Structure formats: structure tokens, C-alpha cells
Amino acid sequence: MENENEKSRQRSVRVPIDLDMLISREAEEIGTKYSKIAVKYMAKGLKGLDPVTMAKIQNILNLVDEALRTGSIAKKNQAQRGANELWKSLSF
């Protein structure tokens, strides 16, 4: 994703009204710039979760299930680390 150290180029593009409203609303809800959300959608698309992300979520859920069934603190901690890594990969 874009950060302060990356080179970037300003472009003017036409955006369908419904997509413009979606980007504007999401940027306002999380308190970030319109361009950050637009770049996220350009990079990741609007189609939702990809198979790799879905597999990561399932692995985390499996670890949580095992931690609950067995009382394993190690599995709980492993699930927490996995969730933290997932959130980082999904954020801007």
C-alpha cells in the first residue's frame, strides 16, 4: 500500500457514483483519506475475501476451537498472533 516513503503519481479518474459514495463513506467511518480507500480497492478489489485470506481465517478459527475445547493457552496465543497478522495484512 501507499505510505509516505513510496513514490506515487497523481491521476484523475472518473468513478461511478455508487463506488464514489462507498469510498467516501468508508473513509469517513474510519477517519482516513479518500485516496487511501480508493487505492485499497484498486489493489485488492471489491470482490471480498480471497482464498488465501479465507484459509487464514479458518486456521485461526480452528485454533480458537481447539483452545476452547482443550483449555490450551498456547493454542489461544497462537490464534491471537494469527489474528494480529491477519489484521495487519488487511489494514492500510
What is the rounded distance in angstroms from the CA atom of residue 18 to the CA atom of residue 30? Answer: 19
Question: Which residue is listed with cell 501507499?
Answer: 2
Q: Is the pLDDT of residue 1 over 50?
A: no
pTM score > 0.75 for this model?
A: no
| Burial class for 18, CB neighbours closer than 10 Å (0-12, 13-18, 19+) | exposed
Q: Is the pLDDT of residue 92 over 70?
A: no
Indicate the domain borders of the chain. 12-47, 51-90
Selection from 69, 64, 66 nearest residue 80 by Cα: 64
Per residue in 10-60, pLDDT (tens digit) is 889 899 999 999 999 999 999 999 999 998 888 877 666 778 889 999 999
